[in-house]
Amino acid sequence: MKALVYNGPGKKDWVEKPRPVIQEPTDVIVKITKTTICGSDLHILKGDVPTVTEGRTLGHEGVGVVEEIGSAVRNFMKGDPVLISCITSCGSCPNCKRQLYSHCDDGGWQLGHTVDGTQAEYVRIRHGDNSLYPIPDGADEEALVMLSDILPTGLEIGVQAGGVKPGDTLAIVGAGPVGMSALLTAQFYSPSKIVMIDMDPARLALARQFGATDTVQVGSEDAVVKVLEMTDGRGVDVAIEAVGVPATFDICQKIVSAGGKIANVGVHGKPVELHIEHLWIKNINISMGLVNTNTTPMLLKTVRAGKFDPGKLITHRFALNEILDAYEVFGNAAREKAMKVILAA
Ligand SMILES: [Zn+2]
Ligand SMILES: [Zn+2]
């Protein structure tokens, strides 16, 4: 089969590889029908994630069809259409028992990280019963690819960790796929104001279409001054960081109101300066973490019921064997006006 393989910093290739086989009785082999590229894949390719070794197949998002099941798999049969979770979880260890699937004793973020991933014709899913979800009849499979990672990440680590409530004022720093996912899912909770902050005017325009009430273009406007103006000098109840650099975390520290919350979603590679000399007196909470995907069943139901359409995050489509072209487009997202790309087998 063909797979997109990491060959060390800056190097990737679409190569022939042996098809995965059942190794553990809880494994499921899935034939990929649709997959995508995540910002984390670009981080890996830059060499930012040293736990990824050379020869690893990348990718942790996708949908497919069950090809083969291990002897202990109870929930799936050959031919079943499935959604793949970016988080592998056994369902029975102490962390899984409290829905902290991202820290499963025998799982967590393994796909396309320490285990071969979904940017391939076939993938082996460990702990298949708990790491896969059945796709309901008639569902839009492209839209469901957004449920593998970015939507639960935006919802759980951004919106829910930030405790967004009806009437709240909310700012999201970073209008990439995860920031947009926070924007879409924040609307479940009816905040009164959602301010999207980014450098790219095209992404801000898209954010307004997706429900942002206000936008701030960093570079031509001072984000802190603008947000304070919009909130009568109080700041926002919740500030979601969805970029992962010190400058954007700093904006969050300066726009959060007394009693507010900073929910960090971004993947950081450098330390940030924590302004505790200003924040200590303000009754602030700061949260951060890795998605658990415990909201995936709820998101499947809301998408199926037509409550919102994550398919609108998709801007580009390619055949799976055009994946190197897709990386070129996704890696130059601003120039290409790309949000999410779909690769179809
Ligand atoms: Zn991801
Ligand atoms: Zn577990």
Q: What is the pLDDT of residue 175?
A: 98
The full DSSP string for 92-154 is: -SHHHHTT-GGG-TT-BS-BTTTB--SSBSEEEETTHHHHEEEPPTT--HHHHHTTTTHHHHI
**Rounded mean pLDDT, 48-54:** 94
Distance between Cα 101 and ligand 2 center (Å): 6
For the chain, the average pLDDT equals 97
| C-alpha to C-alpha distance for 6 and 14, rounded to whole angstroms | 9
CA of 231 to the centre of ligand 1 (A): 33
**Nearest-ligand number for the alpha carbon of 90:** 2
pLDDT for position 48: 86
Distance 87 CA to ligand 1 centre (A): 10
Distance 149 CA to ligand 1 centre (A): 5
Distance 85 CA to ligand 2 centre (A): 14
Residue 277 pLDDT grade (very low, low, confident, very high; cuts 50, 70, 90): very high
Of residues 139 and 100, more confidence is placed in 100
Q: How far is the CA of 39 from the centre of ligand 1 (A)?
A: 6
Do 110 and 88 touch, CB atoms closer than 8 A?
A: yes
Q: Is the pLDDT of residue 118 over 90?
A: yes
The CATH architecture one would assign to domain 153-288 is 3-Layer(aba) Sandwich (3.40)
pLDDT at 240: 98
Percent of the chain with pLDDT over 70: 100
pLDDT at 28: 98
CA of 70 to the centre of ligand 2 (A): 18
- What six digits make up the tokens of 87? 């988080």
Pair type for strands 62-69 and 314-319: unpaired
108-129 mean pLDDT: 98
Residue 133: pLDDT band (50, 70, 90) is very high
Beta carbons within 10 angstroms of residue 225's beta carbon:
12
Which pLDDT value is given to residue 99? 94
Q: What is the pLDDT of residues 288-298, one digit of tens each?
A: 999 999 999 99
CATH architecture of 2-149+292-344: Alpha-Beta Complex (3.90)
pLDDT at 137: 86
Mean pLDDT of 52-61: 98
pLDDT at 308 over 90: no
The confidence band for 269, taking pLDDT boundaries of 50, 70 and 90, is confident
Domain ranges of the chain: 2-149+292-344, 153-288
Report, in angstroms and rounded to the nearest whole number, the Rg of the chain calculated over CA atoms.
Answer: 20
Which are the contacts of 88, defined by CB distance < 8 A and separation ≥ 6? 104, 107, 108, 109, 110, 111, 115, 125, 126, 127, 131
What pLDDT sits at residue 5?
98
Distance (angstroms) between ligand 2 centre and the Cα of 92 equals: 5
Q: Give the closest ligand to the alpha carbon of residue 146.
A: 1
Report pLDDT for 172.
98
Distance of CA 237 from the midpoint of ligand 2 (Å): 34
Instruction: Name the pLDDT band for 266 (thresholds 50, 70, 90).
Output: very high
Task: Give pTM, 2 decimals.
Answer: 0.96
Locus of tokens 């603008």: 226
